[in-house]
Structure 1
């Protein structure tokens, strides 16, 4: 007998993001688990870059081309969910700006923006998730990534769900809402400035004494993990989805897998 979904079950398209796909697929698997546990049907359609690096670098033609591909790929879904505040912010805030001069495409961009959500804010705000069934033995400090915080108002939502994780001790850091220095292409164009910023952020992380640093954007996490590793810090670094899904058993970000060790 087929297990058919109940009528009205939300059909979600997961925009995995380039960094998750290439560098940390476990974040995508964790996102799928969290969405399915919340009662969603989840699909990961064939997809491309959201266009954020091109858009931020001023290459609007390439950004528009990529955005149109994303809009077509995710048109069939009730919701689009992204485990990244920066990529989510691109779809929600910047796609309508990209096509402001085209009445047809701007309607398409706004329709996509209206149904797009960052992962944790979707779980709490749309699906009504107030707690997760996960455990984590240790202390955690949370970094508020710039795009998620300033473009999408993501601050309380991850903390609410982290507080429900059995065994987890959430320790707030000073200046948790201050940039880590990554900023995508900013870190490439202004390497010395970026390095100075992440140096200060690493100081704040270490001061907490927390065993693990978590955030909702993989670019920020990779940047901070690299700095902490170069300092010889034992602080583990993980995406918040991995903690909430109970999938934090493997190597942390920046640590080699058993096959690579």
Structure 2
């Protein structure tokens, strides 16, 4: 694998991102809605963390805060990344650009020289197994292929920002939920392969407990609104039996969280 896709040095920092007492409210006064309240969470360099919770618990809000797309109402977010890259549920590719030009876009915006960005783009498309379709436009690609292009584009942004003591961080907001089951299963495996290759830290939002346990090293459960961390599970290196048991445990805890909110 080429050097651009490998971590430059062994990390010397304790986290890629750390949230301390993060609070987010929308609106003011009596009509304000508190989406997050007192969230404490850290993601280590190269760690894969999955974020679970009921609808409306603030998972996407949390990603937006980490990405810098919104400002916290209280608490602090400490980043050791230049700019986190974000991958959404929809691929959101520019329809008039080829796959290569879509991946190249964040590098072009960052001022990377043409020869370097073309080389990096080719490496990233090869990494997501799309080296032969760089000249295709989004409408010529399947849904799964478009999400692979979106992943390559996000990595272009994340990996370019890493280095100099900074970590690469990829924020993923239910990126596979709109895909059919077979394509989703394939892309989950591809994401794990790419993550292991690049050493990028990942904060992955999902509603799917099985997906969280399969992908993550750690699963974090948020309470219903206002969201706060209520429990965490270490899920890497589980046996098949251990994985099934953990899925049942997390589902049970998630039901408790939803029920307690409904009864409040």
| TM-score after normalising by structure 1 | 0.30
Higher relative contact order (CA 8 A, sep 6+): 2
| TM-score after normalising by structure 2 | 0.30
